[in-house]
Amino acid sequence: MAGSLAAGNDIAQESFVRLLGARIEHHEGTLRSLLATIAYRLAVKEARRLRLYDHTETARMADETPSPLEQLVKEDTDRMIARLVQRLPREQREVLTLRFFGGCSYEEIARITGVPLGTVKSRIFYAVKTCRDKLKERGVST
């Protein structure tokens, strides 16, 4: 969401600094949810500052050591998915990023973004559907 891995690392660090200085007045939600909210708001602020909302980083997941061919196919697919996610409307891109790359629950995303739970579910559904349809058009099975 911030446009680069370096900016994301800076936001993560700043989130923890702000969490340490936060005056928590109520105990609704979890610590993870509070930290995610802080990070989300910092990322949005940074993206606006740099006008980078149209760029996202590809998340790399660790798995068993693949063959060189499998690695090339995976990298190509990851780039394709990243481009598809970048082309989604901002609202869908945000909730998809928080859900799949941030590991947030639907309820946490609703709290972080300030939109109703049903809207979060709808945005994620249509974002995944759009990406899946585009991948099928390009011959990539999911």
DSSP states along the chain: --SSHHHHHHHHHHHHHHHHH-------S-HHHHHHHHHHHHHHHHHHHHT-TT--PPPP---S---HHHHHHHHHHHHHHHHHHHHS-HHHHHHHIIIIIS---HHHHHHHHT--HHHHHHHHHHHHHHHHHHHHHTT---
Percent of the chain clearing pLDDT 70 (strictly above) = 81
Q: Average pLDDT for residues 95-100, to the nearest whole number? A: 89
Q: Which fold has domain 64-142?
A: Arc Repressor Mutant, subunit A (1.10.10)
Q: Average pLDDT for residues 44-57, to the nearest whole number? A: 63
Burial, 63: exposed, middle or buried (Cβ in 10 Å; 0-12, 13-18, 19+)?
exposed
Check pLDDT > 50 for residue 44. yes
In terms of residues, how long is the chain? 142
Q: Average pLDDT for residues 17-30, to the nearest whole number? A: 72
Q: Average pLDDT for residues 6-21, to the nearest whole number? A: 81
Distance CA 111, CA 105 (A): 10
- Under 8 Å between Cβ of 97 and 85: yes
Reference 40, options 14, 58, 69; nearest CA is 14
Check pLDDT > 60 for residue 142. no
* pLDDT at 61 (0 to 100): 41
> Which residue type does 109 have?
I
Of 70-74, 110-114, 126-130, which gets the smallest average pLDDT?
A: 70-74
Q: Average pLDDT for residues 59-63, to the nearest whole number? A: 42
Distance CA 118, CA 82 (A): 25
pLDDT confidence tier of residue 119, bands split at 50, 70 and 90: very high
Check pLDDT > 50 for residue 55. no
* pLDDT at 38 (0 to 100): 82
Of 44-48, 58-62, 66-70, 90-94, which gets the smallest average pLDDT?
A: 58-62
> Where exactly are the structural domains of the chain?
1-55, 64-142
